[in-house]
Amino acid sequence: MTELTISQVQMTFTNVSGISALLAFWAFVLGAIGKWKTKVYRVAEILILLGFVCLTAAIITRGIEANRFPLANLYESTLWFAWAIMGGYLLLVRRLGQNQLGWLAALFATMFFLYGSWLPGNQQVITPLVPALVSYWRQIHVPPLIISYALFCLSGLSSLVELWYAGHIRSLILAAVTIVLAGTAICLGTYTSIDTVWLQLLFVGSSIAGMFLAWRNLSHIATAKADQAKANVYDEISSKAISVGLPLLTFGIITGGLWANHAWGTYWSWDPKESMALVTWISYAAYIHLRVHHELSAERLSLVSIIGLILTLLTYLGFNSLGFGGLHSYGRFK
């Protein structure tokens, strides 16, 4: 098999996975409004599984083609993120029979497929590693971080559904708009030449204002829409995702320090992305603490989870696309 053929196989697997995620999204939506809910949801879950299997094959094929561990640039990290989103849904959510989160998980996976596919060609082709990435620490340090980010996003998405079933519609809308604005700032920073100062203001300003208003509006409850039993299920899903994601993030931060000492002679340099990873860790550690000690209601904890999702997006993509700079800017291409 020639190198060109391997590239074609890898792209075929990737495209099939992306299309499967998109079709799964629409199947979940149709299942929510159609008559054959059970059958359509079954099709959607099969599509998610197909996408996960094909993306696994695509990642393995890319590693064979590159003759290295296939996680070295922004494009490859988006493939891993989509893989972890679909895998996390299949492992944590599907077995609980809660399909309402499926369309959000499929939508997020599809968005990351699109985000990666729209990157410049020099990000998608396989190129020699920069010297700092030529290390066995890369495959030890990076995958746990990407998987933890995906689990945190699943937790935040589950918290959105929890707010819906708890009847906190105003807070849900405000939180959803905040996530959309944060994602918009990241996309504009990635694909346009808009001054990053304005994008930083958009991300930070909308995040602070949106989550503050969402918190203030928790007292408004649409009792006609409330289903506390289902809200409790999604609260549990969110907690489980964080319970798995936080140890992975912890492991990633520790191994990052060991890699940094090996490469630069210091365990911690207060690099912007390092510092933001620590802030994200603190936010989820606070979630666990508040949950264990019952210091906040489930609805307020759901907003803490959503705040964590926004911090995760900033840690994962924001510092590259919003121009904060630092030593971890290998994915930045402008």
- 124 and 138 inside one domain: no
- Quote the pLDDT of residue 260: 84
Indicate the pLDDT class of residue 271, thresholds 50, 70 and 90. Answer: confident
- 121 and 144 inside one domain: no
Greater confidence (132 vs 213) lies with 213
Give the C-alpha distances (Å, rounded to integers) separating 303 from 42, 96, 201, 233, 275: 31, 22, 21, 16, 22
Long-range contact set of residues 190-194: C-beta below 8 Å, sequence gap at least 24: 190/115, 190/119, 190/317, 190/320, 190/321, 191/118, 193/334
- Is 98's pLDDT higher than 70? no
- 221 and 304 inside one domain: yes
Residues 6+ apart with CB under 8 A from 41: 27, 28, 31, 99, 102
CATH number assigned to the domain comprising residue 71: 1.20.120
Domain boundary among 77, 105, 128: 128
Which DSSP letter does residue 266 get? -
- 93 and 204 inside one domain: no
- 100 and 227 inside one domain: no
- Is 34's pLDDT higher than 70? no
Neighbours of 119 (CB within 10 A): 17
Residues 6+ apart with CB under 8 A from 144: 248, 249, 251, 252, 255
Indicate the pLDDT class of residue 2, thresholds 50, 70 and 90. Answer: very low
Share the mean pLDDT of the chain: 88
- 326 and 204 inside one domain: yes
- pLDDT tens-place string over residues 214-252: 999 988 877 656 788 888 989 999 999 999 999 999 999
The domain in which residue 146 lies consists of 134-334
- Quote the pLDDT of residue 326: 57
Average pLDDT over residues 154-171: 93
- Provide the whole-model pTM: 0.92
- 307 and 188 inside one domain: yes
Domain boundary among 91, 113, 128: 128
- 153 and 95 inside one domain: no
- 116 and 160 inside one domain: no
Domain boundary among 97, 128, 159: 128
- 58 and 195 inside one domain: no
- 102 and 243 inside one domain: no
- Is 275's pLDDT higher than 50? yes
Structural domains counted in the chain: 2
Question: What proportion of the chain, given as a percentage, has pLDDT over 70?
Answer: 93
- 162 and 310 inside one domain: yes
- pLDDT tens-place string over residues 59-84: 999 999 989 999 988 899 999 999 99
